[in-house]
Amino acid sequence: MIGILPSHVVEQDIAAGSLAKVRWELPIPIGPVGVSYRKVKGLSPAASFILDELRLVGSDLG
């Protein structure tokens, strides 16, 4: 699994060796973006809201 998180959220996990930090040059180029989730369980109301907001922002970007 790959995730983008603020460093302060994962610094203890990185120090413990549970997670690895990947160096990434920013800005991230604009291109296709996907969201993965389990179809069987569906999304929580909060996750659905975030996904709807991401779609709205994405449509504004073109």
Domain assignment present for residue 22? The answer is yes
- Whole domain around residue 56: which residue ranges? 7-61
pTM: 0.45
Domain assignment present for residue 29? The answer is yes
- Distances from the Cα of 36 to the Cα of 16, 54, 58, angstroms: 27, 14, 16
Domain assignment present for residue 49? The answer is yes
Tally of domains in the chain: 1
Other C-beta atoms closer than 10 Å to the C-beta of 29 total 6
Domain assignment present for residue 2? The answer is no
User: Which positions ≥6 away from 32 have C-beta within 8 Å?
Assistant: none
Could you read off the pLDDT tens digit of each residue along the chain, which spans 62 residues? 667 777 888 899 999 999 888 877 766 666 667 777 877 888 889 888 988 988 888 777 66
Domain assignment present for residue 1? The answer is no
- Chain centroid to CA 7: 14
